[in-house]
Amino acid sequence: MAFLSSHRKDKNSVIEVGEPTITIQLPIYNEKYVATRLVDAVCQQDYPKDKMRIMVLDDSDDDTVTTMSNTVKKYQNLGFDIEHIRRGTRNGYKAGALKHAMKSTDSEFVAIFDADFIPPNWYLKKAMPHFAKSNIGLVQCRWGHINENYSALTQAQALNLDFHFLVEQKAKSNSKLFMNFNGTAGIWRKECIDDAGGWHTATLVEDLDLSYRAQMKGWKCLFLPDIVVDAELPVQMNGAKRQQFRWAKGSIQCAVKLLGDILVKRKIAFDTKLQAFIQLTRHIVFPLMLIQFITLPILLASDVNLYIVSFLPALTLATYLAMGPGAYLLVIHKMYKTDWKAKAKALPYLLVYSIGMSVNNTVAVFDGVFGKKNEFLRTPKYGIVKNDDDWRDKAYNLPFSKTTLLEMFFAVYGILGIFIAIFSNNPIFVPIIALQAIGFFYIAWLSFSHTRYKRPQSTKHKITKEEKMANNFYKLALGGIFAIIIIGGFMAFTGYANDVYPLDISVGLLDRILATSNPQTIIADINAIKANLPETGNPVWIFPTDSTNFSRIQSDLDTMLISAEKIAAVPTDSAAYHTGMLDINGRAMSIQANLADAIPYMYVSFSNIIFSSIWIAAILGIFAVLNKKKQKMQEYDVSKDV
């Protein structure tokens, strides 16, 4: 993709095509902070009024309805052909609104903008000439970011979107690969929409669905990197997660819906089929990341040999860094030229953000695969432009979801994985595990800290006593959750240090016994091993065997100690010495095997299982109480609206 985006030039000519009729469709739902800004920007387009029709597709059920009604009337009085369309239903969500609008659309072209976009007044003048060729069905323009530097979260999203547009979309546009519509900041030829079958409501990404169906019909989609339309990035983590969830699940839904037809259609080139398969199924990488994250500490704890080739772990880490941060830096340098260093500062945020989203997106993938139907949940926007703008006391704030609990679990699991990698003498894997653990902590922490129980329904709303109490309760519960996590991490660390680490030390001492011929050293090491190991007990509490019985292991150590004391009193070249050493070495290897069997069971001892159950139950309990409190606040909001 990077090669195609930088080495292929767009062959589509740009000539004057006049000023054809165009309908600008603005699908909105509860966007009172940004909807007026959008309509103002659209009505300022440098385009003949008699050739431009504006349709405000308003499915809102809050103050946005009144705001839009007044705004539309204002521009109608100024001579604009603008309508405020109310379906009275949200069936089909955004796709349903667009489908409804197409029934009364008779213009040659259709432009679409989401509520948080701000098209410049020259947008139509610059974009329309690119429809010079009759086979061009869509022109997609690049997204700008009006609040890119608001926070680390917005910087990460901005960089991620720039990669998508300036590398991926540009490469597809410059080749015969399939390019997707991004749902907004684009213009369609109406004939193309009709020919492709119109808007469908079966998936959460109607834009991707329609653009693929259009290209399967032979239409060309064109990306215009030089026409930038500014938009507002999500500033709340829960909103960003909702957006990522919708994109991930929608892609899988489109894969299920379209891939079969794409693969069997003869007119589609093989490389295009391959690219379509990769794009539609690429979110499967997130479940694979989680599987790798879960299995690596287990393999390390089980003492599985991951060093089939001695330099393989180092090579893996080097490849991980080269294909990840290293490749990103090269692309950033090519994308931004002289400004690349400033943009590169956001790369660590992007890596942590992308990795941390793997839990959220994995849930989305499974939802898409198994066909679970979800409501189209919009990403709330707050009109955030300046760095000192605040969104926390505004409407539309989203609470954390159940996925946050999973993210917390994986974050703690990652900390345990780091300890396991260190104490199992595999520190080379620590950076990989740590980066993922940091990502999960980052996403979980912001999901909690960005949650608000202040749910104002109008601009005149004052925070009530109930809302203040709910907010204080939430803060206490949040502190309780993280206190439990810290206690759990501390207990896991001390448990490892007291139960598992002594066995690891003993295995190392047995290695030293096998490598030495000094009886005094052997005696000292055996005494150290005896002190490290439990005197009695068996870590295998279900179907135990004698090989992991610590009483037997201690008995074998006593026998080894007697043999070592005997050979210490005889010449090293005597037969008795050699016989004694053979006995010691044989028992040392046997005990090593016994400890290797015992170590994995030390992690799942009966006490550890009980403690883990209590620990998880405590977090679930607090989460359940928070969820119940959230429902009560929602019920309170509804009662106030009645």
Give the DSSP letter of residue 168: I
Cβ-based neighbour number of residue 197 at 10 Å: 12
Give residue 572's Cα distance to chain centre: 64
Q: Catalogue the long-range contacts made by 269-272 (C-beta closer than 8 Å, 24 or more residues apart).
A: 269/176, 271/176, 271/177, 272/176, 272/177, 272/178
What are the φ/ψ torsions at residue 139 (nearest 5 degrees)?
-120, 125
Kind and range of the H or E run holding 145 = strand 136-145
Structure tokens given for 420? 């396991």
Q: How far apart are CA 630 and CA 400, in angstroms?
A: 10
**How many C-beta atoms surround the C-beta of residue 495 within 10 A?**
18
Contacts of 203 (CB under 8 A, 6+ apart): 209, 250, 253, 254, 257
Q: Are 231 and 248 in contact (CB under 8 A)?
A: no
Those residues whose C-beta lies under 8 Å from the C-beta of residue 616, and which sit 6 or more positions away, are 409
Active site residue 207: yes
The one catalytic residue in 114, 116, 162, 207 is: 207
The number of angstroms, rounded, from the C-alpha of 219 to the middle of its chain's C-alpha atoms is 32
Exposed, middle or buried by CB within 10 Å (0-12, 13-18, 19+), for 629? Answer: middle
Crossing angle between the packed helical segments 285-301 and 430-449, to the nearest 10 degrees: 120
Residue 15 CB partners (closer than 8 Å, separation 6+): 129, 132
Q: What is the chain's length?
A: 642
Q: Of the residues 58, 59, 367, 504, which is catalytic?
A: 59
Which long-range contacts link 604-607 to residues 24+ away (Cβ below 8 Å)?
Answer: 605/499, 605/539, 605/541, 606/541
Residues 509 and 528: beta-carbon distance below 8 Å: yes
Q: What share of the chain is helix, strand, coil (3-state, %, to 5)?
A: 65, 10, 30
What would the DSSP string read from start to end of 264-316?
H-TTS-HHHHHHHHHHHHGGGHHHHHHHHHHHHHHHHHTT----SSTTHHHHH
**115 touches 58 (CB < 8 A):** no
The first and second tokens of residue 578, run together, are 């050699």
Check if 59 is active-site.
Answer: yes
Identify whether the C-beta of residue 180 lies closer than 8 Å to the C-beta of residue 211: yes
Beta strands 186-189 and 109-112, pairing class: antiparallel
CA atoms within 13 A on the CB side of 306: 21
Q: Which DSSP letter does residue 381 get?
A: -
For residue 394, what are the CA distances in angstroms to 65, 95, 249, 459, 628?
A: 17, 27, 28, 8, 22
The sheet with strand 22-28 has its strands ordered as 81-85, 52-58, 22-28, 109-112, 186-189, 136-145, 220-231, 117-118
Residues involved in catalysis: 59, 207
